[in-house]
Chains A and B, each alone.
Chain A
Amino acid sequence: MPYQCIDKRRNLLIAARDSSIDLINLENGSYLSTWTCPWPEKPQISKPEIEQPSKLLATQESQSSSVDIVIDSKSPPAKRRKLSSGEADKDLIKEVEPETQGTSTAKVTKNGNEKNQKKQKQNNRSVAIAIGLEAPAIIALAVTVNNKHVVAVTGEDKCIRVFEIVDEADVSKLHQVSERIMPKRPSSIAITPDSATILSADKFGDVYSLPLIPSLDQDAQSATPIAERPFKPSANEKTIHSQRNRIALENQKRHHNSAPKNQLPTFEHTLLLGHVSLLIDLKLATLEGKTYIITSDRDEHIRISRGIPQAHVIESFCLGHREFVSRLCIPTTRPGILVSGGGDDEIYVWKWKNAELLCKADLKTHVNEIVSESAKEKKIAVSGIYHTNHEGVDFVLVTVEAIPGIFVFKLIDTTLTHVQNIFLRGNALGVVTTPSRVITSIDTIHTPASTIELRSSDKPDSSFVTFKFTNGVLEEDSDFKIAGVKDSEIVDADSVENKRMKNLLYSIENLRKRVGEIDGGEAEDG
């Protein structure tokens, strides 16, 4: 399995593949240790959840529901989609009405059925989550400034995990100190310069802050259940209603005794800011002693907000992208500069404090230089922007999703100029820069420039390629080898495993808006 994201800490390379994190010594390339994410608990855990609502049901029904579970677990994992109770009702009315005409009995059946059906859906979901995957995969990594902790996000369980780096007998190991399940799946994380706070940007558009080390007191405090308030519908009959609002109100009245479904996290977390969009990247910047939060979303926005505790103040928006903005990079040597890229053909350079666009550098032309003729029409999605400084010159390295190359630019003053293309043996996945080297992880499973087609691998390829500067140009450093750990191979291109791999490694292009798509969602907006 290839390494989907990599980071470094002093002399340590922290590399995540699927659901484990390998530590590798950056000085000599030797492998040190591996942390593997525990598998989620088996489907049985969903049972207590089911039993709770079934208290209300007749025994017969709960039996039938357990049969349902069996059937469900054989079926392929269902698409996770919330069904509004309104929709469920509609189906039910169709089912129930032809059968029974006696009003009172019909009501009972209907209510019973309804709960039954709901439960079934719940089962479907939890079972799907449990059997659809093995262990959640790591989708983001970050290292604290003080180099003591590593923070990783596992995708499927929306979990932020904090690790302490422990050195045991000269071997560095990761020791998990906490795991916190976020309300929505985090897409990017950052750690404040004081190594005390994690910022997490999620798919729902919100940015939360949470302490790196959760304090125990707070946990206990917020864990105490909130006193249940008696239910009161939000509207009354005099409120102006559309037909749908009326249905919603009726539903509320009917379900007034049902417990609140969404459990809020019990650990300390603060909502800092939010976009009505999907957040893709989050970076922290410090300029003239003040901190700022920079967020980028799927709707072409780059937002500059003040840092904690004034994150509610928006300083500016860097507007100019025409597609999603997937990656942000602030060169450490030039804190006032922001390099951004996404679904556009160009890389943008900003003076971010004043939202001033300094220059755009063409990327698509250079991508076309290394792809086959047939792929030249394809749109590009930036998957990484990295900065390194070599002998006083700032270099910006750009990787593009499913493209076997690194595009090297020089940042001189306010302009970005193309320097070279680096060809890779596999699609670029992650890049780490050290003062002397550039290390990149590549996709060793798929053929270059493909996200589906598998390699006919007779000889396994190394997961890492290393480069070093020679006369101002990056060249492969074949003396430096990193021990990539070989793992099970995918055999079938159509396999579930391969699809999952594709989703894990190549998910950015999916963010592109589809032109001419029917105003989706409106129909299902309940």
Chain B
Amino acid sequence: MFSLEAEPCPPHLNLHNQDLSRDEFAAMPGPANKKQKREQYKNARQGGSTTELPKKKFYRQRAHANVFSDHDLVYPISPAYMDWATYYPAYAEPEVADSIESTTSQTQDISLKAVETQDGSDGNGATSSEAIPMKAKDMRKLKQDVEVADIGCGFGGLLVALAPKLPNTLMLGMEIRTQVTEYVHERINALRLQNSKEGLYQNAACLRANSMKFLPNFFKKDQLSKIFLCFPDPHFKARKHKARIVSTTLNSEYAYAVRPGGIVYTITDVEDLHLWMVEHFEKHPSFARVSEEEQEADECVEVMRMETEEGQKVTRNNGQKFVALFRRLEDPPW
């Protein structure tokens, strides 16, 4: 659905069409009210320290985000500056690391753009302000690296289902919509508290990012073993194809982040997009498609089919699901 917050009535409507503009204004109290309710709800959640799972209806945001625009994103200058410990506190080294493997001066801000969100309702407040420390020297190192990335994780169904199945693997959901990111963040926090005895869900986290632009800011070369691309935005129009998550040129970036032998998982309900993804990955010299038997034997495939929010929606709708897996090949010598 459209999110109407902070979108003033377009001035041209005001000028040219009185009737329409009146209609527009009549509709205005709606969104304002919605905003208020969201704020109330989020304040009542005690900043995420509750075991109650968040309600999706307070976090809905329209399905598309322009991947080419700048937004007000917060991202590390480079992977060495990424403070993972705030996302995976259970996996952090006990003491503060005294050196960072980088030649850059340590006293500078590590986040490139520590911009405050200009709109409370846009609220990644909870996620960004607590999660991004200002100084590199305040960072604690992790005992292990993040190995699984769910790009465009949406409401986090895959993460939540996969976390207990791969309990010793750190996984990260990346989502461009602030509200949705916040939801996943709250969801994981609640699950961590609910399962604090077993220590489950400590290996899953979510952050707001534009992965098409900034993947190399988060991950070193060969860091990942799995990337999930689940039900990506199909971008039906031909002139929007550059915004698709799979393209010849972007596949090179996935190849950079995924180590040889690692797998890129794709699933979609749009056959055209499936064929597009298969075509572009098969054409890319760094990837080869995984055989059907091997694909069906992979436990992540079933999770991807049944546990993602979109996957469930498609099932309810009796839609089709198209799965394809691609293995990262060794680079030829240069």
Residue numbers of A with Cβ under 8 A of B are 82, 84, 94, 204-206, 233-235, 238-240, 242-245, 248-249, 252, 260, 262, 271, 273-277, 290, 299-301, 305-306, 310, 312-314, 316-317, 319-320, 322, 356-358, 360, 513-526
18 more CB-based (< 8 A) A-B contacts, given A271-B249, A274-B250, A357-B103: A94-B20, A238-B314, A238-B317, A238-B318, A240-B231, A242-B1, A243-B2, A245-B63, A249-B236, A252-B237, A274-B249, A277-B213, A310-B334, A312-B251, A313-B286, A314-B256, A317-B78, A515-B115
Asked whether A235 lies within 8 Å of B213 as measured between CB atoms, the reply is: no
Known A-B contacts A312-B284, A312-B285, A322-B112; A525 and B66 likewise in contact (beta carbons under 8 Å): yes
Known A-B contacts A235-B234, A240-B319, A248-B236; A312 and B252 likewise in contact (beta carbons under 8 Å): yes
Is B301 in contact with chain A by the CB < 8 A criterion? Answer: no
Q: Which 4 A-B pairs have the closest CB atoms?
A: A274-B249, A521-B69, A234-B272, A319-B78
A contact residues around B71 at 8 Å (CB): 519
| B161-191 interface code vs A (CB 8 A; 1 in, 0 out) | 0000000000000000000000000000000
Which of A82, A94, A525 gathers the greatest number of chain B CB atoms within 10 Å?
A525
Asked whether A320 lies within 8 Å of B269 as measured between CB atoms, the reply is: no
Q: Which of B51-59, B145-153, B197-205, B214-222 contacts A (4 or more CB under 8 A)?
A: B214-222
Question: Which one, B68, B104, B122, B250, contacts A521 given CB within 8 A?
Answer: B68
Question: Which one, A262, A276, A313, contacts B212 given CB within 8 A?
Answer: A276
Asked whether B221 lies within 8 Å of A313 as measured between CB atoms, the reply is: no
| B244-265 interface code vs A (CB 8 A; 1 in, 0 out) | 0001111111011000000000
Asked whether A82 lies within 8 Å of B273 as measured between CB atoms, the reply is: no
Asked whether A519 lies within 8 Å of B20 as measured between CB atoms, the reply is: no
A contact residues around B83 at 8 Å (CB): none
Which of A82, A320, A514 gathers the greatest number of chain B CB atoms within 10 Å?
A320
Known A-B contacts A238-B317, A316-B221; A300 and B112 likewise in contact (beta carbons under 8 Å): yes
B contact residues around A316 at 8 Å (CB): 221
| Minimum C-beta distance from B88 to chain A (A) | 22
Is B7 in contact with chain A by the CB < 8 A criterion? Answer: yes
Asked whether B252 lies within 8 Å of A314 as measured between CB atoms, the reply is: yes
| B112-130 interface code vs A (CB 8 A; 1 in, 0 out) | 1101001000100000000
A-B contacts, 15 listed (Cβ < 8 Å):
A82-B239, A234-B270, A235-B272, A239-B234, A239-B270, A242-B63, A273-B252, A305-B252, A310-B334, A312-B251, A313-B286, A322-B112, A356-B103, A357-B102, A524-B66
Q: How far is the CA of A262 from the CA of B284 in the complex (A)?
A: 24
Asked whether B319 lies within 8 Å of A204 as measured between CB atoms, the reply is: no
| Minimum C-beta distance from B95 to chain A (A) | 26
Closest to A306 in B: B334
Is B17 in contact with chain A by the CB < 8 A criterion? Answer: yes
Question: Which one, A245, A314, A521, contacts B253 given CB within 8 A?
Answer: A314
B contact residues around A94 at 8 Å (CB): 17, 20
Asked whether B314 lies within 8 Å of A240 as measured between CB atoms, the reply is: yes
B contact residues around A206 at 8 Å (CB): 249
Asked whether B69 lies within 8 Å of A520 as measured between CB atoms, the reply is: yes
Question: Which one, B2, B237, B331, contacts A248 given CB within 8 A?
Answer: B237
Is B6 in contact with chain A by the CB < 8 A criterion? Answer: yes
- Majority SS of interface residues in chain A? loop
Q: How far is the CA of A306 from the CA of B333 in the complex (A)?
A: 11
Asked whether A310 lies within 8 Å of B78 as measured between CB atoms, the reply is: no
Known A-B contacts A312-B285, A515-B115; A262 and B69 likewise in contact (beta carbons under 8 Å): no
Is B64 in contact with chain A by the CB < 8 A criterion? Answer: yes
Q: How far is the CA of A178 from the CA of B171 in the complex (A)?
A: 52
Asked whether B65 lies within 8 Å of A525 as measured between CB atoms, the reply is: yes
Question: For window 64-86 of chain B, which residues contact chain A by CB distance below 8 Å?
Answer: 64-72, 77-78
B contact residues around A517 at 8 Å (CB): 70, 72
| Minimum C-beta distance from B122 to chain A (A) | 8
Q: How far is the CA of A310 from the CA of B237 in the complex (A)?
A: 30
| Minimum C-beta distance from A158 to chain B (A) | 16
Asked whether A322 lies within 8 Å of B65 as measured between CB atoms, the reply is: no
A contact residues around B285 at 8 Å (CB): 310, 312
| Minimum C-beta distance from A397 to chain B (A) | 25
Is B143 in contact with chain A by the CB < 8 A criterion? Answer: no
Asked whether B66 lies within 8 Å of A313 as measured between CB atoms, the reply is: no
Q: How far is the CA of A82 from the CA of B332 in the complex (A)?
A: 42
B contact residues around A518 at 8 Å (CB): 6, 118
Is B238 in contact with chain A by the CB < 8 A criterion? Answer: yes
A contact residues around B272 at 8 Å (CB): 234-235
Asked whether A290 lies within 8 Å of B68 as measured between CB atoms, the reply is: no
Asked whether B213 lies within 8 Å of A276 as measured between CB atoms, the reply is: yes
Asked whether B78 lies within 8 Å of A320 as measured between CB atoms, the reply is: yes
A contact residues around B78 at 8 Å (CB): 317, 319-320
Asked whether B103 lies within 8 Å of A276 as measured between CB atoms, the reply is: no
Asked whether A245 lies within 8 Å of B236 as measured between CB atoms, the reply is: yes
Question: Which one, A235, A356, A358, A521, contacts B270 given CB within 8 A?
Answer: A235
Q: How far is the CA of A525 from the CA of B269 in the complex (A)?
A: 22
B contact residues around A521 at 8 Å (CB): 66, 68-69
A contact residues around B1 at 8 Å (CB): 242-243
Known A-B contacts A82-B239, A273-B252; A238 and B115 likewise in contact (beta carbons under 8 Å): no
Asked whether B63 lies within 8 Å of A276 as measured between CB atoms, the reply is: no
Asked whether A520 lies within 8 Å of B253 as measured between CB atoms, the reply is: no
Closest to A525 in B: B66
| Minimum C-beta distance from B76 to chain A (A) | 9
Known A-B contacts A275-B249, A320-B77; A240 and B255 likewise in contact (beta carbons under 8 Å): no
Asked whether A519 lies within 8 Å of B250 as measured between CB atoms, the reply is: no
| Minimum C-beta distance from B316 to chain A (A) | 9
Q: How far is the CA of A358 from the CA of B238 in the complex (A)?
A: 43
Asked whether B69 lies within 8 Å of A522 as measured between CB atoms, the reply is: yes
Is B242 in contact with chain A by the CB < 8 A criterion? Answer: yes
| B299-334 interface code vs A (CB 8 A; 1 in, 0 out) | 000000000001001100111100000000001101
Question: Which one, B69, B217, B253, B273, contacts A234 given CB within 8 A?
Answer: B273
| B83-116 interface code vs A (CB 8 A; 1 in, 0 out) | 0000000000000000000111000000011010
Asked whether A516 lies within 8 Å of B118 as measured between CB atoms, the reply is: yes
Q: How far is the CA of A204 from the CA of B247 in the complex (A)?
A: 14
B contact residues around A360 at 8 Å (CB): 104
| Minimum C-beta distance from B108 to chain A (A) | 9
B contact residues around A233 at 8 Å (CB): 236
Q: How far is the CA of A526 from the CA of B331 in the complex (A)?
A: 38
A contact residues around B319 at 8 Å (CB): 238-240
A contact residues around B234 at 8 Å (CB): 234-235, 239, 245
Q: How far is the CA of A191 from the CA of B71 in the complex (A)?
A: 35
B contact residues around A525 at 8 Å (CB): 64-66
Asked whether A314 lies within 8 Å of B103 as measured between CB atoms, the reply is: no
Q: How far is the CA of A522 from the CA of B178 in the complex (A)?
A: 13
